[in-house]
């Protein structure tokens, strides 16, 4: 991959949103379910507070070791990336109220509700994943959704 250059011929730096989404993608590379690799990064004031990826309950077998636990066409063995990032923040005593979260895929309905109740104010996501309810509820709750695949805010 070629490095992009600015007008002065210096390597071009990524903007903050691209930077944090790239980190979320890297975090997602740790996912242990091969059906979907998702990463999440919780940020406030351009500082990373917590990260998470989709993986099994701590200490239990992973999909890549024991196979998938399927219900209604979905693997339910894993804890989602967003939930893991929120849990890691809580476990380590890190306040995430009024933070932002970068996720490689938009949150499912249950993760969206966790994000909202954790006080996160902006959700940046890299691709849309399944649940349209997040749009109406985000608007009603004052949570900003940013689809980075389209580079526009909603």
C-beta separation of 95 from 123 below 8 A: no
Active site residue 132: no
Beta bridge partner(s), residue 125:
103, 147
Contact 44, 100 (CB under 8 A): yes
Answer yes or no: are the C-beta atoms of 89 and 110 closer than 8 Å.
no
Consecutive H or E run containing 140: helix 133-141
Contacts of 151 (CB under 8 A, 6+ apart): none
65, 71, 82, 100: the active-site residue: 82
The H or E element spanning position 18 is helix 16-28
Q: What is the rounded distance in angstroms from the CA atom of residue 146 to the CA atom of residue 25?
A: 16
User: In the block, which residue shows the tokens 């992973």?
Assistant: 62
Q: Which positions are annotated as active-site residues? A: 82
């Amino acid at each position: 991959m070629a490095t992009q250059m600015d007008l002065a011929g210096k390597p071009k730096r990524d903007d903050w949103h691209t930077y944090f989404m790239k980190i979320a993608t890297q975090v997602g590379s740790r996912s242990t379910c091969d059906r979907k690799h998702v990463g999440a990064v919780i940020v406030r004031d351009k500082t990373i507070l917590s990260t998470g990826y989709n993986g099994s309950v701590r200490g239990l077998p992973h999909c890549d070791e024991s196979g998938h636990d399927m219900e209604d066409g979905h693997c339910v063995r894993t804890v989602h990336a967003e939930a893991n990032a929120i849990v890691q923040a809580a476990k380590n005593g890190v306040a995430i109220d009024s933070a932002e979260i970068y996720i490689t895929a938009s949150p499912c309905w249950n993760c969206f509700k966790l994000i909202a109740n954790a006080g996160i104010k902006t959700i940046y996501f890299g691709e849309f994943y399944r649940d349209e309810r997040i749009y109406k509820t985000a608007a009603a709750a004052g949570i900003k959704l940013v689809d980075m695949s389209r580079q526009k805010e909603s």
